[in-house]
Amino acid sequence: MIGLLATAAAVATLGQAVQAPTDGAGSGHSHGPLDVTVYDGSAGALAVPSPLTVDPQIDVDGELDEAAWADAPVLTGFTQFDPVEGVPATQRTEARILVTDDAVYFGVKAYDDLSGGPRATLGERDSFARTDDYVRFILDTFDDRRRGYVVMVNPYGVQQDGLWVVGGGGGRERRFGPPIDWNPDFVWDSGGRLQDWGYSVEVKLPFKSIRFREVPLQDWGLQVERRIARNGYSESWAPVSANVANKMEQFGSLTGLRQLDPGLFLEVNPVQTITKQGRYDEASGSLQRSGTAGDFGLNMTYGITSNLTLDGTYNPDFSQVEADAGQIAVNERFALFLREKRPFFLEGTEIFQLPRQLVYTRSIVNPVAGTKLTGKLGGFNAGYLGAVDVVDDANAPDGTANPVVNLFRLRRDIGSTSNVGMVYTDRTYDQNRYNRVAGLDGRFQFDQRYTLTLLAAGSRTASSEPGAIHGGLLSARFSRSGRNFQFNAAVNDVSNDFQAGSGFIRRTGAAQVQSRASYDFRGRPGDLIERWGPSVEFDGFWDHDDFWARRGVEEATVRAGGSVSFRGNVTLWGNYSVSWFDFSRAEYDGLTQPGQGDVQEAFFPSQSLFQGLQSGTLFLWLNAFDRARGNIRITRSETPLFDFYTGTPVDLANSWSGDASLNLFPTTHVRAELGVRHTVLKRKRDASIYSQATIPRVRLQYQFTRSFFVRAIAEYASQRRGALLSPSEGRQVSYCSADSCRALEGSEAHDFSVETLVSYEPTPGTVFFVGYTRQMEDMERLRFRDMRPKADGLFVKMSYRFRR
């Protein structure tokens, strides 16, 4: 009874005028005693009536000194959700919100009364999430608890934004962090200031930059989060628990939004690029440069309604201002995955996310033109993307082809958090050559913490050979969320003839079973160990036909590990695993080795060689220092050496690999990133080196303002690989087809590249870039004495985003 009366008394004060304290360490604001309406998240005051304001005259500079802020509702009572869940926030946060006829405004005072204070660096957009303090705002504008706009700022007002997509992650539930797609860039204003008592930020998010329903009265989901970088604490206004799989179900709300109208939404983005490239000419022994080339492109976006957008592009500029970071590829069985970085493809990508990557836009190599239609119609999310590509094609008379790509996605919301959908992809070269994929998928959440994800797809592929081949894909995943105990299990099966011409399926003709269970023990904020816990995993692969015939597994790994989060934002992960490989003789068809009289004989190693292989990994994440953060990973393992053509294990090696990175922030304007990746594989038989790779990388950047910086990147990629030899006699193994034999010969390359860039980007789409890249080949590893130029290029890009 006493508890009931206390709760009633607390609720009675919510939404009433209260007196705000004055500024000081950890409390108040600079206007002195004022009457404001307070919404205490920890006490359950999570419904904020829309604070409509006419012409607030706010200068978005981070100061919160305008009169309009004095009467704005205050969101306070934050609670911690990581690394300790459900305890009061260690520092006080006050968030304010205002709504006008064209935008929503946020203002935050983030108090900090401990030594060290907030961490902040001046950097380009989307650069600070892992290093700085920040405040994050999430708006669920459709109030469907499935997708939300995310905008966040650090204490200097540097922006980062994205979309919170429930079930996102390209088919895998994310193990760490929320399901945010950081690819989209929106147009909004922000400002931030460091203060004696912490920091303050202001945000203006125009209605033109977001999508919402066309109804006269609506509510939006609302969440405000804060991260304190020096100790890794994350706090939120609306309390959240890991016991609920969909965190958006726990958000608060902004209620009573009336007659929202973004007006006419039209963007025109002309782009001009100028390039001059050089290539090394063997005959002359020097770089031969081509003439200056210019390309003009045009991107357009039209808001058909407040929630349906049409995008079009002609001769799109997909140039990147930073190359893909070097990847070690000396013992790979399958293709490497590369992230999409091209602007046109990044917008609206969340609608094309599926449990398996049936849509992979980097398969569109060099598009001439494209169009895209995305939006939400009632309970349906729909997306269409079409493009005309230019690719190398050995079957075409002139060596190139123009495949037409069409991608269509439709998803229907069911209940409060579930959905079902379909996808269709078509990549057509001509009437006799094409790849088409159709699939059905669903995501079902029940009892809050349990999620079941399903996908079934089929492909039809026609090539230059007569007839067409058909393949199938099945995928199912079950997961349990929990504050302490988490569990997931998945089954994926891809037939031998399944092809996703517009997707990325790393392995076909195989079935996979995965499972992982983990448990977290949580302490209190400030304990030496704030969170720790063990985990166990199983990952097994079967041949597709063997799986359905219930025959033995081809390869399997059992892994035990754990993590420890220490006070001061230091985390240590580790695991130990044992693996088994057992391939049938048929899987080695085509592999041969020299026999008597140099006659090629079939090669099939004893599978007992690949049983009980051990591996161990340690990973340390250190973010305890103000001006330096870093991480290091070390792995020691017994690993098979795989044949590239068949994907089967040929020999056995001892492997050491590791990577380390160090981020330095000597001043507010300067940042440096130092990194190195290294791996060496030595044959088990005689300890001779099969492969060795070292890739050091240095990135140095000076930030004049939030919009203007200069950057230089230097990377040295040294990779060498020997021939594949049989494990017993050391004979070279070859792959033989009907008309030829191909040995996986040794190779060696030592490449050095330098990239420089001057960038001015006041808003997304309005940019001026000047960059120069030079690629060289070192004739001897890490000697730098005989450096041969391979290529260079000068790049200029100018674009402006006109907006109505």
pLDDT of residue 335: 55
pLDDT of residue 492: 97
To which residue do tokens 């166990």 refer? 536
Query: What is the rounded distance in angstroms from the CA atom of residue 715 to the CA atom of residue 694?
Result: 10
pLDDT-flagged residues of the chain (< 50): 1-34, 170-174, 320-331, 333
pLDDT of residue 170: 45
State how far the alpha carbon of 107 is from the alpha carbons of 4, 75, 111, 112, in Å: 34, 10, 13, 16
State how far the alpha carbon of 769 is from the alpha carbons of 202, 694, 760, 795, in Å: 28, 30, 6, 8
Query: What is the rounded distance in angstroms from the CA atom of residue 462 to the CA atom of residue 481?
Result: 43
- Residue 777: which residues within 8 A CB-CB, separation 6 or more? 749, 750, 751, 752, 787, 788, 789, 790
CA torsion angle 68 70 72 73 (round to 10): 180
pLDDT of residue 738: 73
Query: What is the rounded distance in angstroms from the CA atom of residue 261 to the CA atom of residue 253?
Result: 20
pLDDT of residue 3: 37
pLDDT of residue 252: 96
Query: What is the rounded distance in angstroms from the CA atom of residue 17 to the CA atom of residue 33?
Result: 12
Element housing 753 (H / E): strand 747-763
pLDDT of residue 338: 64
- Residue 774: which residues within 8 A CB-CB, separation 6 or more? 753, 754, 789, 791, 792
pLDDT of residue 284: 80
Instruction: Find the angle CA(440)-CA(444)-CA(448) to the nearest 5 degrees.
Output: 165
For residue 363, the 8-state DSSP code is G
pLDDT of residue 487: 96
Query: What is the rounded distance in angstroms from the CA atom of residue 390 to the CA atom of residue 524?
Result: 58
Strands (E), 529-668: 529-543, 555-566, 570-581, 591-594, 600-602, 613-622, 628-642, 649-664
680: nearest Cα among 328, 332, 333: 328
137: nearest Cα among 75, 81, 79, 80: 75
CA torsion angle 431 432 435 441 (round to 10): 70
- 181-223 pLDDT, tens per residue? 888 889 999 999 999 999 999 999 999 999 998 889 999 999 9
Q: What is the pTM of this model?
A: 0.86
Query: What is the rounded distance in angstroms from the CA atom of residue 609 to the CA atom of residue 38?
Result: 68
- 322-336 pLDDT, tens per residue? 444 444 444 454 555
Question: The tokens of 444 are what?
Answer: 């079902």
Number of H helices, E strands in the chain: 4, 49
Question: The tokens of 292 are what?
Answer: 């200056």
Asked if 676 contacts 715 with a C-beta cutoff of 8 angstroms, the reply is: no
Check residue 46 and give left, alpha or beta (phi > 0: left; psi -120 to 50: alpha).
alpha
Query: Could you tell me the sign of the dihedral formed by the alpha carbons of 496, 500, 505, 511, in that order?
Result: negative
If 0-12 CB within 10 Å is exposed, 13-18 middle and 19+ buried, where does residue 691 land? Answer: buried
Query: What is the rounded distance in angstroms from the CA atom of residue 594 to the CA atom of residue 588?
Result: 15
pLDDT of residue 130: 83
Helix (H, G, I), strand (E, B) or coil at 527: coil
Query: Which residues, in sequence order, are bridge partners of residue 37?
Result: 17
Please state the length of the chain. 804
- Number of Cα atoms under 13 Å in the Cβ half of residue 284: 9
For residue 248, the 8-state DSSP code is G
- Give one DSSP letter per residue of 630-681, joined into a string: EEEEEEEEEEEEEPTTT--EEEEEEEEEEEEEEEE-SSSSEEEEEEEEEEEE
